[in-house]
């Protein structure tokens, strides 16, 4: 009997997972359908301000420090081969291809994703979402869609800023402190970084990460148990699931983009 019970528990968990995936899919398509127009543009802009502009400080500071660390570590390895001229290439490729999309998405999940979940969750717990439906305002269009589209737009911009600031941070350490020639820092970088293969692929990654992170955040907020414990659980889930999704997707995308070389 115990075996049957645990089998039933497994089945229940699987059904709950499938149901949650289905609900999140429905939510996603409903929200995509609610493309902001007219009054919605203002709501969308407010969300871009909240999850984009206000994330700028953490993105710039982390980008600068990650670039500086890359410059320092890269120099200490490359100098062993007498190849410290290739520092620019190393810093730029690792930032543009991997670090900028992934780290920016992780920071974004912690900074903006959790806030979105908590906000929508509190709206649900205080029944603001139901009240909106009662007075004929579609919460998809009013609450969910602007946040989803804001994440979609803000993430690639934050990634580009992260990469640019990181490369400048690497130059600060490599060129100004450790004495790598400035010409070869930029020269090796320009000779090896390809616009389509590296920069555009990094941007594609960041668009997908932005979509996934805001989707998870919005769904967790919309689908939570409307209690204070439910909100705290959903906020935690947002950060954990987004981070796992970003890292897992990053491997898949990297295998698709760079696996054939």
Partner 1 sequence: MRKQHWIEVGVGAFMLFGIVALIFLALRVSGLTLDRNEPSFTLTASFSNIGGLKPRSKVTLAGVVVGRVTDIQLDTKWYEAKVTMSLEQKLEGLLSTDTSASILTAGLLGENYIGLTVGAETDVLEDGDEIRDTQSALVLEDLINKFLINSTKD
**Residue 90 contacts partner 1 per CB under 8 A:** no
Q: Which residues of 130-148 are buried (b: 16+ CB within 10 A; e: fewer)?
A: eebeeeeeebbbbbbbbbb
CA distance 123 to 139: 10
**Residue 96 contacts partner 1 per CB under 8 A:** yes
CA distance 135 to 15: 34
**Cβ distance to partner 1 smaller for residue 102 or 224:** 102
We find the least distance from the C-beta atom of residue 222 to partner 1, in angstroms, to be 24
We find the least distance from the C-beta atom of residue 203 to partner 1, in angstroms, to be 7
∠ CA(156), CA(252), CA(166), 5° rounding?
40
Please answer whether residues 220 and 124 qualify as being in contact, where contact means their C-beta atoms are separated by less than 8 angstroms.
Answer: no
Which one of 53, 137, 240, 252 is in contact with partner 1 (CB under 8 A)? 53
- Counting beta carbons within 10 angstroms of the beta carbon of residue 1, is it exposed (0 to 12), middle (13 to 18) or buried (19 or more)? exposed
**Cβ distance to partner 1 smaller for residue 45 or 249:** 45
We find the least distance from the C-beta atom of residue 237 to partner 1, in angstroms, to be 28
Q: Using alpha carbons, select from 215, 207, 96, 202 the residue that is nearest to residue 155.
A: 207
Q: Which residue stretch of 114-122, 136-144, 151-159, 173-181 sits at the interface with partner 1 (rule: CB under 8 A)?
A: 151-159
**Cβ distance to partner 1 smaller for residue 160 or 231:** 160
Q: Which residue stretch of 48-56, 65-73, 134-142, 251-259 sits at the interface with partner 1 (rule: CB under 8 A)?
A: 48-56
Find all residues with CB under 8 Å of 172, minimum gap 6, and list them: 67, 68, 71
**Residue 198 contacts partner 1 per CB under 8 A:** yes
Residue list 28-47, contact with partner 1 (CB under 8 A): 42, 45-46
**Cβ distance to partner 1 smaller for residue 104 or 143:** 104
We find the least distance from the C-beta atom of residue 7 to partner 1, in angstroms, to be 51
Residue list 154-173, contact with partner 1 (CB under 8 A): 154, 156-158, 160-161, 163-165, 167
Which one of 19, 61, 191, 247 is in contact with partner 1 (CB under 8 A)? 191
**Residue 189 contacts partner 1 per CB under 8 A:** yes
Size of the site for partner 1 (CB under 8 A): 31
**Cβ distance to partner 1 smaller for residue 32 or 153:** 153
We find the least distance from the C-beta atom of residue 184 to partner 1, in angstroms, to be 12
Which residues of this protein are in contact with partner 1, per CB under 8 A? 42, 45-46, 48-49, 52-53, 56, 92, 96, 153-154, 156-158, 160-161, 163-165, 167, 186, 189-191, 193-195, 198-199, 203
């Amino acid at each position: 009997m115990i075996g049957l019970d645990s089998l039933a528990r497994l089945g229940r968990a699987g059904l709950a997972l499938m149901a949650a995936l289905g609900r999140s899919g429905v939510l996603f398509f409903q929200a995509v359908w609610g493309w902001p127009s007219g009054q919605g543009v203002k709501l969308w802009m407010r969300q871009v301000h909240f999850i984009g502009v206000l994330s700028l400080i953490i993105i710039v500071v982390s980008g600068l420090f990650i670039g500086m660390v890359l410059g320092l570590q890269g120099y200490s390895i490359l100098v062993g081969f007498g190849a410290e001229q290739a520092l620019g290439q190393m810093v730029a490729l690792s930032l543009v291809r991997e670090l900028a999309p992934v780290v920016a998405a992780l920071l974004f999940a912690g900074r903006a994703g959790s806030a979105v979940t908590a906000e929508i969750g509190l709206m649900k717990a205080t029944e603001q979402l139901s009240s909106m439906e009662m007075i004929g305002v579609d919460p998809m269009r009013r609450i969910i869609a602007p946040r989803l589209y804001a994440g979609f737009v803000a993430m690639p911009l934050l990634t580009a800023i992260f990469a640019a600031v990181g490369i400048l941070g690497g130059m600060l350490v490599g060129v100004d402190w450790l004495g790598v020639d400035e010409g070869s820092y930029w020269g090796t970088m320009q000779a090896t970084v390809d616009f389509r293969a590296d920069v555009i692929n990094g941007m594609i990654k960041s668009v997908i990460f932005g979509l996934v992170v805001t989707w998870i955040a919005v769904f967790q907020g919309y689908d939570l148990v409307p209690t204070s414990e439910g909100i705290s659980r959903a906020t935690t889930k947002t950060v954990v699931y987004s981070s796992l999704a970003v890292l897992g997707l990053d491997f898949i995308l990297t295998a698709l983009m760079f696996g054939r070389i």
